[in-house]
Structure 1
Amino acid sequence: MRQLAEIKAELGTPYYESEDVLLYQGDCTALMERLSQPSFDLTMTSPPYNIGKEYERVLPLADYVAWCGKWMSRIYDLTLPSGSFWLNVGYVSVADRGKAVPLPYLLWDQSPFYLLQEVVWNYGAGVASRKSFSPRNEKLLWYVRDPEGYYFDLDPVRDPDVKYPNQKKNGKLKCNPLGKNPSDVWQIPKVTSGTNRASRERTPHPAQFPSALVERVIKSSSPIGGLVLDPFVGSGTTCVVARQHKRVSVGFDLRSDYLDLAITRLEASEQQLF
């Protein structure tokens, strides 16, 4: 496809290539610096949270925020005028100030993007707590380049669970026949691990987000045939879901073992589609 051919011309030989996906191994900021023009309809990603996971090097908090600002700003430069950037982030400890400070408080203004909305992702499983309420949510920040001209299609993600679907006023249905707006609180199960409770889509990646979360973003915030970026692609969920819904995608990751996971999932999804 033309979009991917232009990306490949600037980035060179990918780690993995198909007609609708390019995966590259390397630092996302360095790779994005090699791209010369806005190309992406949507970026959907979840970066390291700076909390000591196996795939990250913990930085002083100020350095972490500055690092995020750098790659977030580069995403802005590469986003089309009608495009969006969805950022999934959790919580971080701030010395002497807070045990679990939401990363959106620290990152929301670290790029030229316009912050359109915060969405709360509420999930059922998580860490238990005795001295506080058990954490059961993360945030998604929805950024756009142009607050007056961004792409958004609500219909593909409407919630069909309407209490009174046939209620009418003056002879007309009061609600959309496709369903209601799902609101800014999304109740989507987490990808769980464990012998008896592991999610079907679970991979060895330690911080995999669920396909249903990505699906809602991709279907509402990018057109069919659009180009989607995930600069921290991990196990490849963004690229797999993009393929399933007829988008093309580009993913970056530092680790070859995670890219290999993504490739395995992409090849499985290709078999299911064709």
Structure 2
Amino acid sequence: MREEVYYFDKESGSALVLADTFDFLEKIDEESIDMIFADPPYFLSNDGISCSGGKAVSVNKGEWDKIDSLEAKHEFNRSWIRLAKRTLKPNGTIWISGSLHNIYSVGMALEQEGFKILNNITWQKINPPPNLSCRYFTHSTETVLWARKNDKKARHYYNYDLMKERNGGKQMKDVWMGSLTPLKEKKYGKHPTQKPEYLLEQIILSSTKEEDLVLDPFVGSGTTCVVAKKLGRRYIGIDQEKDYLDLAIKRLQNS
């Protein structure tokens, strides 16, 4: 597909890019990114059902959320992580979110591609949808892996003091609790896997400084960029779906 800068913020030098993630990652300057947050496809679109607003709904998100095999899923994860690593500064870090459908592949791919996993964050949702089949425990958590390059010289940034302050004067633990994405963050439109702003706020504040450059290779509705802008960070967001980028632009222009 043809690549283009779909939205450019002259004030901060930030951009949303309409492109295939794999192609555009190869064009980003080497070791230019301070932090990456990625919410890649979970590959859970299997024609099943879930619950939303008290109603049974299809779990299918789109063709981008389907994969043919376990091997193809893992190669997908290794490939984009390999490309993302090239863009990351020596002391930069990467955060990747996922559920049981993809996070084990992501964790293995990180280690295979030369990363050291720093933390395994458990995001516990206080208001998860019920399990309609009543044959499993309710799925109420997702995992966010935090990693840096596996280099003994690497000195990743962690704002320990701020995280301690945000946690009432105690060390921040690796279990974070909060609600699903509130309706007020979806007023310009919806994305099937949209993350809440408070989650990205904690991630960005903990591992970046003002003016740092944040990359989201699967930007979707733009939560990473919206929060980065609010916190005085620069951003690059990539997606191949115009509709999602249009939604992200509305959010950015009204944030």
- Larger Cα-atom Rg: 1
Shift of 1:127: 3.4
Paired with 1:224 and 1:105, the residues of 2 have a C-alpha distance of 28
- From 175, 182, 196, the equivalent of 1:185 is 175
Distance 1:57 1:142, change over 3 A: closer
Distance 1:26 1:128, change over 3 A: same
Contact 1:121–1:139 (CA under 8 A) maintained in structure 2 = yes
Partner of 2:206: 220
Letter in 2 for 1:200: K
Partner of 1:15: 6
TM-score normalised over the length of structure 1 = 0.78
Does residue 137 in structure 1 map to residue 127 in structure 2? no
Cα distance per residue 1:124-155 (max 9 Å; x no partner):
12232322221110000101124651111122
Paired with 2:211 and 2:113, the residues of 1 have a C-alpha distance of 27
Query: What runs of 5+ residues in structure 2 fail to find an aligned partner?
Result: 46-60
Partner of 1:63: 72
Name the SS for the 1:44 alignment partner: strand
Cα distance per residue 1:203-225 (max 9 Å; x no partner):
31111001111011101111111
Paired with 1:206 and 1:13, the residues of 2 have a C-alpha distance of 24
Of residues 81-90 and 54-63 in structure 1, the stretch that sits farther from structure 2 once superposed is 54-63
Partner of 2:53: none
Shift of 1:91: 2.2
Two-structure CA RMSD over aligned residues (Å): 2.1
Paired with 1:216 and 1:57, the residues of 2 have a C-alpha distance of 26
Of residues 82-91 and 28-37 in structure 1, the stretch that sits farther from structure 2 once superposed is 28-37
Paired with 1:142 and 1:245, the residues of 2 have a C-alpha distance of 20
Shift of 1:34: 1.6
- From 220, 229, 245, the equivalent of 1:243 is 229
Name the SS for the 1:92 alignment partner: coil
Paired with 2:210 and 2:167, the residues of 1 have a C-alpha distance of 25
Paired with 1:102 and 1:23, the residues of 2 have a C-alpha distance of 29
Partner of 2:86: 77
Name the SS for the 1:225 alignment partner: coil
Name the SS for the 2:228 alignment partner: helix
Distance 1:217 1:57, change over 3 A: closer
Partner of 2:160: 154
Contact 2:32–2:89 (CA under 8 A) maintained in structure 1 = yes
Partner of 2:123: 121
Shift of 1:190: 1.3
Does residue 211 in structure 1 map to residue 201 in structure 2? no
Distance 1:225 1:160, change over 3 A: closer
Shift of 1:199: 2.6
Paired with 1:228 and 1:161, the residues of 2 have a C-alpha distance of 24
Name the SS for the 2:232 alignment partner: coil
Contact 1:119–1:184 (CA under 8 A) maintained in structure 2 = yes
Paired with 1:55 and 1:42, the residues of 2 have a C-alpha distance of 28
Letter in 2 for 1:17: F
Paired with 2:157 and 2:37, the residues of 1 have a C-alpha distance of 14
TM-score normalised over the length of structure 2 = 0.83
Contact 2:4–2:18 (CA under 8 A) maintained in structure 1 = no
Paired with 1:204 and 1:153, the residues of 2 have a C-alpha distance of 32
Contact 1:104–1:139 (CA under 8 A) maintained in structure 2 = no
Letter in 1 for 2:64: E
Query: What runs of 5+ residues in structure 1 fail to find an aligned partner?
Result: 1-10, 94-100, 163-178, 192-197, 270-274
Paired with 1:16 and 1:149, the residues of 2 have a C-alpha distance of 33
Paired with 2:130 and 2:201, the residues of 1 have a C-alpha distance of 28
Of residues 84-93 and 101-110 in structure 1, the stretch that sits farther from structure 2 once superposed is 101-110
Shift of 1:158: 2.9
Does residue 46 in structure 1 map to residue 48 in structure 2? no
